[in-house]
Amino acid sequence: MARTSSDPYAKVHAATLKHRAQHGCGAWPYGNGPLLSTIAAASGAKRILELGCALGYTSLSFAHGAPKARIDTIERDPEHVRLARENIAAAGMDKRIAVHEGDFAKVLPALEAGYDVAFFDGHTPVPALHKALHGLLRTGGVLITANLNHGGTADAVHAALFDGKTWQSALIDEDGETAISVKL
């Protein structure tokens, strides 16, 4: 997707692509930060949870869209954590965005439930993490799931998101990469 001048964090997006090319890691930046800003704004979010921070592009996008929100973002790669904290501080968002270093499965149990918005962008989605995200979101909270078209465990997550009982979901792109779901 082409970046436009309406994305205030286009430089962080570009820096993430450059970092990935140099280091060969999995820091693929999400394609549409302004969409995340808009979802955060529309939901009037006060608390946002992100799985997969990389260099901070999407947590900054959420913080931009919801000026009253605090964001918890999780990342296990120490170099990504360092660079994300640097980018977040440079954007003046370090009072609102907390970067938790560690594996998703280890960090999630320590978080308090009641999030308004959650974003999964940590490579291939897995059912156990989505179950934990369901528990951490408030009823009516919004879950955005990236990488749903990766196959493997992503197929089970896709089925759970469209079970019609625990989530109300829609795919938002033609290739089925991202779903937006509301916790029922």
Q: Which parts of this chain interact with ligand SAM (CB under 6 A)?
A: 16, 26-30, 52, 54-55, 57-58, 74-77, 80, 103-104, 121-123
**Do 16 and 55 touch, CB atoms closer than 8 A?**
yes
Residue closer to ligand SAM by CB (options 77, 177) is: 77
Residue closer to ligand SAM by CB (options 94, 168) is: 94
Q: Minimum distance from CB of 144 to ligand SAM (Å)? A: 10
Q: Which two tokens stand for residue 7?
A: 């994305």
Residue closer to ligand SAM by CB (options 29, 141) is: 29
Residue closer to ligand SAM by CB (options 30, 167) is: 30
* β partners of residue 62: none
CA atoms within 13 A on the CB side of 92: 2
DSSP state of 165: S
Strands (E), 24-178: 47-51, 70-75, 97-101, 115-120, 137-145, 167-171
Q: Minimum distance from CB of 125 to ligand SAM (Å)? A: 11
Q: Minimum distance from CB of 30 to ligand SAM (Å)? A: 3
